[in-house]
Structure 1
Amino acid sequence: MSLRAMCLCGKTSLDLHGSPVARANCHCSSCRSFYGTHIFSATAWESDAVRISDGLGQTFKHPEKQLTKTFCDVCGEVVFGTNRLGMRVVPNVLLARATDGALEPSLSPTMHLFYRQRVVDVLDDLPKYLDGWDGPTYVS
């Protein structure tokens, strides 16, 4: 797969190649505070599969954790983050915008992570891992 995703103003764009390593809705407190949302819906990619192709992204490093986020220096939208494993984490809002407003099945979330830390309940059929994807799942 090859996909070009752009920030809201269109000044910064990403080229994505291959397939994401993971597709998830994350409920962890780190993502919630770092990205400013109740649930961070994103895809994780190997770092060499995601490149800024246009514009200049500014990067902010979390003061305590192994997280960074790169954002458009014009509109301020986050175009990707980097997690502690070095993967590039691309918000699904960018992917939906690049695919005419709806995520393709190959990009849609397949799970919820860190559901134990959730601040809102989600009613869907995706597995809800209480912690990481190798741990126990939530049973209602």
Structure 2
Amino acid sequence: MSSTYQGSCLCGQIRFEVTGFHQPTAHCHCSMCRKFHGAPFAALTQVDNLTWLSGKHLLKDYVAPNGTTRTFCEHCGSSVGFRRKGDDLTQIELSLALFDSDIEVEVDAHIYTDYQSNWYLISDDLPQFKEGRE
């Protein structure tokens, strides 16, 4: 039997469903993730069998100077996800904060800690990587 997990943006117009999550999943402290999420880090994960249930037409992209893409809701501004340079929408890493119930994913590291904010202290025992996973 397969579990499904649903998520949505703040206004609820973008809704999606997935059947699972990939490891590894990390907290990213790079400045672009911090600014895009308005938080000390971003928690993003790759998913299995992503289906857009509604609002796909509201997805908008910001392509950063390094070629990575941040996707957000045109209506409420919710940070939906991240894509590496050249990836299409089927390869999006979704924001963990968008899921509407408990999910089966475990964050296992902090990445890009050389760029972390000076006002947030990492206080857990997860491994820390100065750049991506080394």
TM-score (norm 1): 0.74
Indicate the residue corresponding to 1:76 in structure 2: 77
Q: Indicate conservation of the 8 Å contact 2:60/2:74, yes or no.
A: no
Unpaired stretches in structure 2, ≥5 consecutive residues: none
Aligned equivalents of 1:31 and 1:50: distance in 2? 22
Give the aligned length: 126
Identity of aligned residues (%): 24
Over the residues paired in the alignment, what is the CA RMSD in angstroms?
Answer: 2.2
Distance change >3 Å, CA 124–CA 116, structure 1 → 2 = same
Alignment of 1:19-38 (within 5 A): 19-38=21-40
Unpaired stretches in structure 1, ≥5 consecutive residues: 136-140
Q: Deviations over 1:44-98 (max 9, x none)?
A: 337xx33322113332232412222322233221222223373412112112xx2
TM-score (norm 2): 0.77
Higher relative contact order (CA 8 A, sep 6+): 2
Alignment pair present for 1:94 and 2:95:
no
Distance change >3 Å, CA 117–CA 41, structure 1 → 2 = same
Q: CA deviation at 1:108?
A: 3.0
Q: Indicate conservation of the 8 Å contact 1:44/1:89, yes or no.
A: yes
2:97 is paired with a residue whose SS is helix
> In structure 2, which of residues 7, 10, 13 is the aligned counterpart of residue 11 of structure 1?
13
